[in-house]
């Protein structure tokens, strides 16, 4: 299918072959994490050599090249983004673009472990919203699922982020036999603190120690179970991501469903993902990618980078092909921590 030509005067917009405008860039600033969540990575992970990573200055330059081409929202992810050394220098530089009007929003996805240290600085840099990954309110189960996580530290981090004035959304991966029965109480807890919540289906990415067929919880079933206890009203609320939202009448709060397996969100996809090595993935669930590091380092101006971005967007697929099977083979070989959550 030929690339759709944008209207005259809008040549720098990123329009993919299916007419979707790309306005949202997710940037994994590191593949490293201080947790080892069982559905995300193996306990004994081999991370990228530090020499392979883009510098923070190079990441800033790439982000600004995307802004030049119409990206209005940036989300920094990992791994755990706040374990990257000197990460606040990048966050401050990107946050300053909100003041210039080139960027609408800068957000982070984090496990919460570093927020007691960074919450005030993040708010001062222009971050107004955080997604915090949390799969249980039971400290023992939290240790089981994260392997290395400190539950009390994460709870203190949530307190610090709210005290700093940032809006929080809790991201929970629905896992059969682990937290499916706990989600109603997590929902009440999150809404009771003024936080939205999103439940996510586990995705077949990377080799892990667990069997994904044992973990997999279709969110269609979860929604049906929740409707026995709550009144769910579909609402058109959007944050720019793939979640479909409902309002819970009993709590007054919002609950999102991210369903890459049972009901994919590809038709409205407005985002691409950049890794800490400068690899651009046009789709989370496909292996096709573009190298932006080589053109970035080949010239001091951004002409080659912009050409590489354009070429990559011209290859953005219609959607992903996730499947979970009993062979426990990942649909995508790379771990989620490489691409960015």
Binding residues for [4Fe-4S] cluster: 33, 37, 40, 266, 269, 283
Enumerate the known binding-site residues. Answer: 26, 33, 37, 39-40, 75, 79, 109, 133, 169, 203, 266, 269, 271-273, 283
79 backbone φψ class: left, alpha, beta (φ>0; ψ -120 to 50)? left
CB atoms < 10 A from the CB of 270, how many? 18
Q: What does the block give as tokens for 146?
A: 């994260």
């990618």: which residue's tokens?
289
CB atoms < 10 A from the CB of 157, how many? 25
Residue pair 15/314 in contact (Cβ under 8 Å)? The answer is no
């067929």: which residue's tokens?
213
Contacts of 277 (CB under 8 A, 6+ apart): 48, 52, 53, 54, 293
Enumerate the known binding-site residues for S-adenosyl-L-methionine. Answer: 39, 79, 133, 203
Cis before residue 68, ω within 30 degrees of 0?
no
CB atoms < 10 A from the CB of 321, how many? 11
Enumerate the known binding-site residues for GTP. Answer: 26, 75, 109, 169, 271-273
CB atoms < 10 A from the CB of 34, how many? 17
């Amino acid at each position: 299918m030929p690339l759709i030509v944008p209207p005259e005067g809008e040549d720098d917009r990123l329009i993919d072959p299916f007419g979707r405008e790309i306005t949202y860039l997710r940037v994994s600033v590191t593949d490293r994490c201080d947790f080892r969540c069982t559905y995300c990575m193996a306990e004994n992970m081999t991370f990228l050599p530090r020499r392979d990573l883009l510098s923070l200055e190079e990441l800033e330059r790439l982000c600004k090249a995307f802004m030049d081409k119409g990206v209005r929202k940036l989300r920094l992810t990992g791994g755990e983004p706040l374990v990257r050394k000197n990460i606040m220098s990048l966050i401050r530089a990107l946050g300053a673009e909100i003041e210039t009007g080139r960027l609408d929003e800068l957000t982070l996805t984090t496990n919460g472990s570093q927020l007691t240290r960074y919450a005030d600085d993040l708010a001062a840099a222009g971050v107004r919203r955080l997604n915090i990954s949390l799969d249980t309110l039971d400290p023992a189960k939290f240790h089981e699922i994260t392997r290395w996580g400190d539950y009390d530290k994460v709870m203190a981090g949530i307190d610090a982020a709210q005290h700093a004035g940032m809006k929080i959304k809790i991201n929970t991966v629905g896992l059969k036999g682990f937290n499916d029965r706990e989600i109603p109480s997590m929902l009440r807890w999150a809404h009771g603190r003024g936080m939205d919540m999103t439940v996510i289906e586990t995705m077949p990415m990377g080799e892990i120690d667990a069997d994904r067929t044992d973990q997999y919880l279709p969110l269609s079933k979860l929604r049906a179970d929740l409707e026995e206890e709550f009144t769910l009203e579909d609402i058109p609320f959007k944050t720019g991501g793939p979640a479909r939202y409902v309002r819970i009448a009993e709590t007054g709060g919002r609950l999102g469903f991210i369903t890459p397996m049972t009901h994919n969100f590809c038709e409205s996809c407005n985002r691409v993902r950049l890794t800490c090595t400068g690899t651009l993935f046009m789709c989370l669930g496909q292996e096709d990618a573009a190298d932006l590091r080589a053109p970035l380092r080949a010239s001091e101006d951004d002409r080659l980078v912009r050409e590489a971005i354009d070429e990559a967007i011209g290859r953005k697929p219609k959607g992903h092909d996730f499947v979970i099977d009993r062979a426990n083979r990942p649909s995508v070989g790379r771990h989620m921590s490489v691409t960015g959550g």
